[in-house]
Amino acid sequence: MMIKQTYPMVLVDSNSHAKEVLAELSKRCPFVSPISEKDKELFQSYFVAAMADLPVGEGYGYSWAYITQMAHGRAYGQPLGLKYYNPEKQLLVPLSYFARPASSQTEWHFHLVRPMGLWQTDQFFELCNLLYELSQSPVYIKKIRDDEEMDLLKRPGFSLAERYPWHDNAFLEDDTKAEVIIDVNHTLSFLTRSGDNELKRKYRNFFRRNQQICWQRYNVRNESLCRDAESVVKQFMEYPQVKALGLSRFDDFSNMLSSLPLGINGKDYFSAVLYIANQPAGFYMAEHLGQKQIAGVYANIALRDKFRYSSEYLLLELLQDLHQAGIAVANLGGSETDGLHKFKMKFRRSQGTVKEMRWVVFDGQHHYYNKR
């Protein structure tokens, strides 16, 4: 394990409550510091260890793309979010502070995102207690397995997150619906089978409707590519149906555009921009999980209203990219809505599995520790 690094917290959020709470957290807990680019190797070591004993296809939360998406702290000047890291206790917990959309008033809550290492320990429970004390709001622990949920619910102060829905329409954000895990080769085989099927038909229709198709590997050093990928994400977020749901914003994907995982694009992670008729039309991001032939898919963003069938085409091309790198299984993640879940299930076909992930909250009704 690496030696703990500390970085100064820069609090620029105009919300005085958030600024005060995070400043106090910084004073009272020396193990909390911002996540930085220098932390990639630290996180990767925990990802690999956590993935070692998981069933095939699981582990979607053990990736740089996921952690920096779900713990982003752009509202308070820390784009990659915060972390609690205690090297002596082998405990690493990404965390952030968000306003809950479903609350009638502006309520801020700490999120502990996929804790890692020896995390069900006194140090973790002390952290929950401190965060509740500082925020006076339930503390969310997200993206945990059902056995981990049961263990936490046996302890004082923990309860089901459904008591405090995050969104009115998606009470557990992207874990409202189960993760969809697919066999890459099996799904791609539908493109070459005889006869008709939905994936083959939509893939074919994409080429009938769209011309001058070009792909470019994403590179944060290429300013033109960065602008085009950013344009795709921003245009997608402006779609009326996306805005009406209010479940995603550009900030939720911005770290995928600015902070790529360790390694090589096309081997350790997979990120590309789609162009149609010289116009940016799509963006995808996936990441190799641990040391297994598994990848998590974290962005599949197509300007589908402008380019028909591009959503299916984009994901199928990403699966081709994974296949060429020897990836056998892809976890498409969970979903906020029935519609998105059904879209992902089209690619599972007759094989693959689904995996429900859980959230719990520490609601402070029974403090695990007395205040010291």
pLDDT score of 291: 83
pLDDT score of 76: 87
CA distance 269 to 265: 5
Residue 4 lies in a domain: no
What single-letter amino acid sits at 118?
L
Residue 346 lies in a domain: yes
For residues 187-204, average pLDDT? 96
Q: Residue 50 is part of a domain; what is its CATH number? A: 3.40.630
Both 116 and 192 in one domain: the answer is no
Both 134 and 101 in one domain: the answer is yes
CA distance 134 to 353: 40
- Reply yes or no on whether the pLDDT at 10 is more than 60: no
- Torsion over CA: 334, 213, 273, 329 (sign): positive
The DSSP string of 30-77 is TTEEE--GGGHHHHHHHHHHHHTTSPTT--TTSSHHHHHHHT-BGGGT
For residues 39-43, average pLDDT? 99
Both 276 and 291 in one domain: the answer is yes
Both 108 and 214 in one domain: the answer is no
Domain that holds residue 280: 179-355
First to last CA, the chain: 30
Both 26 and 150 in one domain: the answer is yes
For residues 146-161, average pLDDT? 95
Residue 155 lies in a domain: yes
Residue 369 lies in a domain: no
Residue 216 lies in a domain: yes
- Reply yes or no on whether the pLDDT at 2 is more than 70: no
pLDDT digits (tens, 9 = 90+) for 280-335: 999 999 999 998 899 999 999 999 999 999 999 999 999 999 999 999 999 999 99
Lowest mean pLDDT among 68-82, 115-129, 220-234, 241-255: 241-255
Residue 150 lies in a domain: yes
Share of the chain above pLDDT 70, in %: 94
Residue 6 lies in a domain: no
For residues 208-233, average pLDDT? 98
Total structural domains in the chain? 2
- Reply yes or no on whether the pLDDT at 369 is more than 60: no
Q: Are 181 and 352 in contact (CB under 8 A)?
A: yes
Is this structure's pTM higher than 0.85?
Answer: yes
Lowest mean pLDDT among 44-48, 112-116, 285-289, 366-370: 366-370
For residues 165-179, average pLDDT? 95
Both 134 and 242 in one domain: the answer is no
CA distance 143 to 23: 26
Q: Residue 264 is part of a domain; what is its CATH number? A: 3.40.630.30
Residue 80: name the closest of 45, 118, 42, 117 by CA: 42
Both 318 and 218 in one domain: the answer is yes
pLDDT digits (tens, 9 = 90+) for 60-111: 999 999 999 999 998 888 999 999 999 999 999 999 999 999 887 778 999 9
Both 236 and 259 in one domain: the answer is yes
CA distance 168 to 188: 36
Block residue for tokens 């990848």: 295
